[in-house]
Structure 1
Amino acid sequence: MAAHISGIELLRVSSILQDCCDQLAVLGHIMPDTDKRRAEADMVLSADISAVMEQHRAAEVCLKVAREARVDGDAVSEATHQLHRSQKELNRILAESRFSSDNLAKVQRDRQFLAQVKSDTLAELQEKGTFQSLWQALEEEKKRKANLQDIIIREEEGCLRAKALQRQLLDIRKEKTVALQWREEMTAHLKDQLQEMKVKTSLERKYVKSCAELLVYQGQKLNTRQEKQLEDEIKMLEGKLEEERRVHKEMESFLKEHQTNLEVKLEYWVERYEKDMEDKQQELNALRTNKNNNLAQLQDLAKKYRESKQVIIEDRLVKDNLRRQLERAQLERNAAIKIQSWWRGTVVRKCLGPYKKAKKPKSKERKKGKKK
């Protein structure tokens, strides 16, 4: 909430703000023009900036050469440090220069901002007697500075992260260099092992060839022996096959005879099945007839049961109504008795009706006093 100012305090504050606005206007008139001072500032800074830029370019070239040549990590780190030093020197020169056009423009913008805020506040004080615009301008400026502070913090964090990544890059390069040396040594060792394996392979080839020839000779002998065994087995199987044929014929004759017997039994069982089916069909018809009769009797009994149930329900309803009427009459009788008792008690207590008290006769003493 904005405070309200009136009276002498309003005049004091207004005079102070008017004085500040006048001083800022005078300061704006006496400040050098940024466009006119730009050439002078560039001439002053050109020598320092050119020198620092030359150092920066030289450091970049050294770093690029060191990376392409894959030298040790010390040279790369030295080139990186030199590059950072040149960058810091350039930033310092640009930041500390009082003749920089950017600094003059910033001062001019700050002066204009202050003049605008004070003039708005003065107008609000003169019109309403409050300074809400000043608070709003301060809040906006605080938010802007907070955003700038966040940007600066993020930039610093980015620089720290870049430095950490550069250190990590140097460590990775050292590791890669060591790994490359180890791989070269391993390649030489593997070449020696390959030569040894070639010699060993030639010896093994000769040994395998001699073993293969022996195995072929042994296999031929085994095959001849197996052929003789197979011929004997073929003769034995032919004898068994003849015996199987004889057994098959006997089995076929036995099965035909058994089939005829089964056909006779099948005819007998078919006839018996038909006869049993007829008997069971007759029993089923009788059961159906009994079922229909029982169902009719059951329906008659159910009808009688429903009628009896309806009569019982009606009787119960009549009895319930009668009971309710009796209970209601009893309640009305009790209520009437209570009302009569209350009324009699009230008449007796208040001496109404036949219970009214008789008027007392006037005393003789009061009469005598009046005659005197």
Structure 2
Amino acid sequence: MSVKISGAQLIRVCTVLQDCADQLAVLGNIMPDTYKGRPEADMVVGADISGVISQHKEAEQSLRTLRQSQGESGSVAEAVLELHKSHKELNRTMETSPLSPDNLAKVQRDRHFLAQVITAVLAELKEKGMFESLLLAVEEEKRKKAHLLDIIIREEEGRRRTKALQRQLQDIRKEKTLELQRLDEMTAHLKDQLQEMKVKTSLERKYVKSSTELLVFQGQKLTTHKEKSLEDEIKLLRDKMEAERRVHMEMEIFLKQNQSSLGEKLEYWMERYEKDMEDKQQELNSLKHSKASNLSQLQDLARKYRESEQVVMESRLEKENLRKMLEREQLERDASTKIQSWWRGTMVRRGLGQYKKGKKGKEGKKGKEGKKGKKKQK
């Protein structure tokens, strides 16, 4: 927000601004671009450049002189420093030349912008006594400067990225160069191998051709020999066929001659066969009759054998039963004897029955009688 100016302060501000506008107008008239087309323009700029170049040459000459005379290290260092300074001065003079198009255009733009702002502010002060246009111009210039700064930052970032990409491109170029060298070496190696293969193939072709010709010659020779052997074999087979034909004719004549005699022999043997068959049939019938009679006799003998075998088995069973009965009776007698002996011994030991204990005489008598009885039983 601007403050309204009035009175003497407004007059002073307007006077200062008017003076600035006049000075800018004068500056526009004395700018170096007004020297264009004039002969003194080159003299104005050339004088400065010639002075700087002469200083640079003097510094180079002094450095060369010191090196030739091999002076002290301090003098050489001072001469080198002087040479660097003259070189920088030359570069700055060339860059800030008043006749360079960039410098002239920038100065003209700034002067024109400042003249417009001052004129607008002066008119606003005269009309309203305020300077809002100045504030707006300052804000607009700040915005443009910020935008320009952003552009510069982005340009620097782009330059850095461009440099990085250039380095990557350089690395890729180096890699591709190395790869191309490797491929060239591989190509040369493959060409050498191809040449070797061509030579080897040529030698193999010659060898195969010579071996093929040799094989063909050998084949022809073997074929000729085989043809000759086959012709000899054909001749031999023809002779054999002729001999076989003669033998066949003779055999046919012989067989025809013997056919009649064989027919008579066949009739004779047929009659004999029929007669022998009748005789053998009669013999077979007699054998069948004798077989039937022998079979009946065999059946009678088998029946008698079964009857005899049954009688023998019954007799054996009776004898076995009798033996078992006698053995059982003997066992019973032995068992009864043992039981009686055991019982008597028990009666004697326990003094039962007639063996009861009494007086000594009686006991002695009874003992003797008991002993006698035992002896008798034994």
TM-score by length of 2: 0.35
Answer with 1 or 2: which has the greater Rg: 2
